[in-house]
Structure 1
Amino acid sequence: MADDKSAEKDILRVEAELLHAWETGDAATVRRDLDPSFTLVDSKGAITDYAANVAEVEKRDPAYTVFRNRDQAVRVYGDSAVVIGITRVEGTSGGANFTAEFRFTDTWVKRDGQWKLAASHASRLPE
């Protein structure tokens, strides 16, 4: 149980790093913290991979001013984990402002002693 608590803390730290990286356009952190096999199923059902997500951060479109999680719950299964929660985003895309909240599920894997985000799924919450 103590190992699970330590893993939970590490995962939430890395997840916070990723959120900050999306806000600030820090593609190096995104490259480091995403697993090379990363996939995202977005709120419209589209699937994107590692390269597409890194490119989005590099282009800064969408450009996020807020990218924050809350109500997170972490379940650790050895060298893998699942995090559920709610993400709030604000920013601009194609010149238009947006604000949205999503229920997310993130799947984490431990590779070479580091937690990497391997998969994410987001469902848009009603306004």
Structure 2
Amino acid sequence: MRRALLLTTWVLVSGLAQAAPDRTQEVLQIERDWCGAYQRGDVAYLEKLMTPDFTLIGSGGTVNTAASEIDELKTGKVKYSLFENRDMKVRFYGDTAIVIGRTHAVGVSEGTAFDIDVAFTDTLVKLNGTWRAVAGHASRKGA
């Protein structure tokens, strides 16, 4: 009996230990897919990922919404030839994931070429079983 209890406890604990890395990998893959969507101009993916009240704050205090982010891609105002995250770390607080890292983006905005590297913080929340982006912040080096 004691052996069965120990085995059951071990199975439960090992299952919980494996859940955290799987959840971390899931969120990191969403971040990579998010970058790919920006690079491809995949508006449909962004509409599914970002909540309608999504807010992105930039270094200078600019505020972009899900609608403005999507509109920039739809209209061609911004086009990315590269959009990559690196050095990402994820922390969980219940059904909320905070992701920090660096983003390197290369492209053209309103006819002007750019090549930027920023530190970012993204906040994702699991809503009805699906991870959704609710907020982000990006700061240029020195900002």
TM-score of the pair, normalised by structure 2: 0.83
CA contact (8 A) 1:75 1:83 kept: yes
Q: Does 1:68 align with 2:96?
A: no
Other structure's SS at 2:133 match: strand
CA contact (8 A) 1:4 1:76 kept: no
| Residue number in structure 1 paired with 2:42 | 26
Instruction: Report the CA distance between 1:7 and its aligned residue.
Output: 1.4
Post-superposition, which runs of at least 4 consecutive aligned residues in structure 1 deviate over 4 A?
A: none
- Aligned position for 1:17: 33
Gap regions ≥5 residues in structure 2:
1-16
The letter for the 2-side match of 1:93 is: S
Matched, 1:2 2:18: yes
The partner residue of 2:129 within 105, 113, 119 is: 113
Whether the 8 Å contact between 1:71 and 1:85 is mirrored in structure 2 is yes
More strand by share: 1
Q: What whole-Å deviation, never above 9, does each CA across 1:27-82 have from its counterpart, x for those lacking one?
A: 00000111222100012211111111111221232210010000000001120010
Q: Percent identity?
A: 37
Give the helix-richer structure, 1 or 2.
2
State the superposition RMSD in angstroms: 1.2
Q: Is 1:59 equivalent to 2:38 in the alignment?
A: no
**Does the alignment pair 1:35 with 2:58?**
no
* Counterpart among 91, 108, 119 of residue 103 in structure 1: 119
What is the Cα deviation at residue 122 of structure 1? 0.4
* TM, length-normalised to structure 1: 0.93
What is the total number of aligned residue pairs between the two structures?
126
Please tell me whether Structure 1 or Structure 2 has the larger radius of gyration of its CA atoms.
2
Q: SS at 1:48's partner residue?
A: strand
**In the TM superposition, what is the alpha-carbon distance from 1:87 to its structure 2 partner?**
0.2
